[in-house]
Structure 1
Amino acid sequence: MALLQAESITVCVDNRPLLSDVSLEVEAGELVCVIGPNGAGKSTLLTALCGETAMDNGWVNFKGTPLHNLSARNRARQVAVLPQNNPLTFAFTGLELVSLSRTPHSTGNERDRQICQEAMAMLDVNHLSERLYPTLSGGEQQRLQLARVMAQIWRAEDGGDRLLLLDEPATSLDIAHQYGMMRAVRDFARSGVAVVMTVHDLAHASGYSDRILALKQGHSMAYGSAESVLTAENIQQLYGYSVTVIPHPLTGRSLVVADV
């Protein structure tokens, strides 16, 4: 049984469907990327998966039971969410910000600090430990926020099976840190975490995902491996733009090249 199961998710606002009959399954250790044009319903899907947005139809199960059956503390110990926008003006240091994630746990200050430092090292932000958050660049803030949600569910022994939901975490990152972030998220998934993340860069989806969900106007247009989803025909249908898809010269994965 998949760790996360979502079936027939439908979300409407003012009688307008934002999501219509969307389903997916994610195994522990698996990274699923969600792609699609602006307004396709990617962020709505993530908020529906974590229970932040009410569904008009469908259900979400975590470990075979409804996610909403988890107590608030157990949910915080097993499910971490990073939205697109994380406004914060309070002058926390980088380490203090990441340490907020350990509140649901009872692992003690020393172990919590070690976990936060490990998560920060994974995102290359240990040098920001004593820097004040509002003084940092957008990319530095984004990497600290990602370290925070990863530290929240860092250890399986703290809460068991774990789920990480990320909404466009590459926003504000330069190219080196984008790919560093993608490697960190993939490696974190391999530690036994089910990860669902929305991305705009198709190279990220192709290079690091186990499966890809393509959304268009709230509908699931395709769901499967990168090779089956990232075809020239699908991309044309999804974005209305002509592309050529070729094998990556090093990895063999699907490489989407815009026809200029």
Structure 2
Amino acid sequence: MIEAKNIALGTRLLPLSFSVEQGEIVHLLGANGSGKSTLLELLSGLTEGQGDVFLSGVSLNAIDSKSLARQRAYLSQQQKPAFAIGVYQYLSLSLSALGKYHPAELDTAVKEICTTLGIEDKLNRNTEQLSGGEWQRVRLAGVCLQIWPDINPDGQLLILDEPATALDIAQQSVMYKMVRRIAERGIAVVMSNHDINRTLSDADRVMLLKNGHLVAQGTPREVMHVDMLEKVFGTRLRRVEIDGQLLMLNT
């Protein structure tokens, strides 16, 4: 289990506490500047703030960087490749903290992840030859590989900051499929999101943020009411149900 206790960072994120269970998918929703990225940075251990984060009862402050890289993977907001590198070589960088692993198990993991994300035919390309959507899916493959249970039994947490950036509708679909697949392998997932309807259908739990405050958390059906979402996003919405599926429409 992952537990955050009174984490905060100045006025960017005011103190909040929450926990995430094994295999649970938690979405962070809020307007730009609401504190989503700051929360994820604190949860990753890459930014220091107030409070503490625990992985299976152990404080991040007590975990060395190599061990932490075995336990959690963090996808920051989209960045362009810093230098030209082969896609397969880039994915291999995700394994630097893992120590020994069986080559056959690695090949199987790479194939399963890349097939799910639709980039199995990109492994022999150079990162400079990729479109924005292809590069984003390669980045996602890298963090999934880092904590994939078949090659890393210590993986516990996947953190994703706006992973749908640069993805078209079809690519977003495979991304959410990948997130669910890794959660089914026992990895907790915490991710920021801008697609309210995807959160309604894909999240196990949602946290609503506004101006650094946590204004509500619970299952999507419990907290994603029109009046609450209008307060969080500052826009008019209408909630409808089509064939049993809840949808939010911007009016």
Same fold? TM cut 0.5:
yes
In 2, the alpha carbon distance for the partners of 1:207 and 1:100 equals 33
Q: 85-94 or 220-229, which moves further after superposition?
A: 85-94
- What is residue 127 of structure 2 aligned with on the other side? 133
Alignment map for 1:111-190 (pairs within 5 Å) = 111-155=105-149, 158-190=152-184
Q: Structure 2 vs 1, CA of residues 112 and 157 (structure 1 numbering), >3 Å: closer, same or farther?
A: closer
Residue 36 (structure 1) shift: 0.2
Counterpart selection for 2:72 from 53, 71, 79: 79
8 Å CA contact 1:99–1:116 kept in 2: the answer is no
Q: What TM-score results when the alignment is normalised by the length of structure 1?
A: 0.91
Task: Look up the SS of the partner of 1:130 in the other structure.
Answer: coil
Q: Deviations over 1:52-107 (max 9, x none)?
A: 1111x321111012022122222111110000033314222221111211111210
- What is residue 44 of structure 2 aligned with on the other side? 50
Q: What RMSD in Å do the two structures reach over aligned CA positions?
A: 1.5
8 Å CA contact 1:226–1:253 kept in 2: the answer is no
Q: Structure 2 vs 1, CA of residues 54 and 241 (structure 1 numbering), >3 Å: closer, same or farther?
A: same
Counterpart selection for 1:99 from 73, 92, 95: 92
Task: Look up the SS of the partner of 1:151 in the other structure.
Answer: helix
In 2, the alpha carbon distance for the partners of 1:91 and 1:73 equals 25
Task: Look up the SS of the partner of 1:102 in the other structure.
Answer: coil
8 Å CA contact 1:138–1:172 kept in 2: the answer is yes
Which segments of structure 1 move beyond 3 Å, counting only runs of 4 or more?
108-111
- What is residue 219 of structure 2 aligned with on the other side? 225
- What is residue 41 of structure 1 aligned with on the other side? 35
In 1, the alpha carbon distance for the partners of 2:57 and 2:250 equals 41
In 1, the alpha carbon distance for the partners of 2:105 and 2:79 equals 26
Residue 214 (structure 1) shift: 0.5
Query: Which residue identity does 1:73 align to in structure 2?
Result: K
Query: Which residue identity does 2:246 align to in structure 1?
Result: S
For structure 2, the residue ranges without an aligned partner over 5 or more in a row are none
| 2:211 is equivalent to residue 213 of structure 1 | no
- What is residue 255 of structure 1 aligned with on the other side? 247
8 Å CA contact 1:28–1:161 kept in 2: the answer is no
Query: Which residue identity does 1:10 align to in structure 2?
Result: A
In 1, the alpha carbon distance for the partners of 2:218 and 2:105 equals 39
Task: Look up the SS of the partner of 1:159 in the other structure.
Answer: coil
Query: Which residue identity does 1:71 align to in structure 2?
Result: D
Counterpart selection for 1:90 from 79, 83, 86: 83
- What is residue 194 of structure 2 aligned with on the other side? 200
Paired residues in the alignment total: 250
Q: Deviations over 1:188-213 (max 9, x none)?
A: 11110000000001112111100000
Query: Which residue identity does 1:188 align to in structure 2?
Result: I
Identity %: 35
In 2, the alpha carbon distance for the partners of 1:45 and 1:156 equals 29
Query: Which residue identity does 1:239 align to in structure 2?
Result: F
In 2, the alpha carbon distance for the partners of 1:158 and 1:180 equals 23
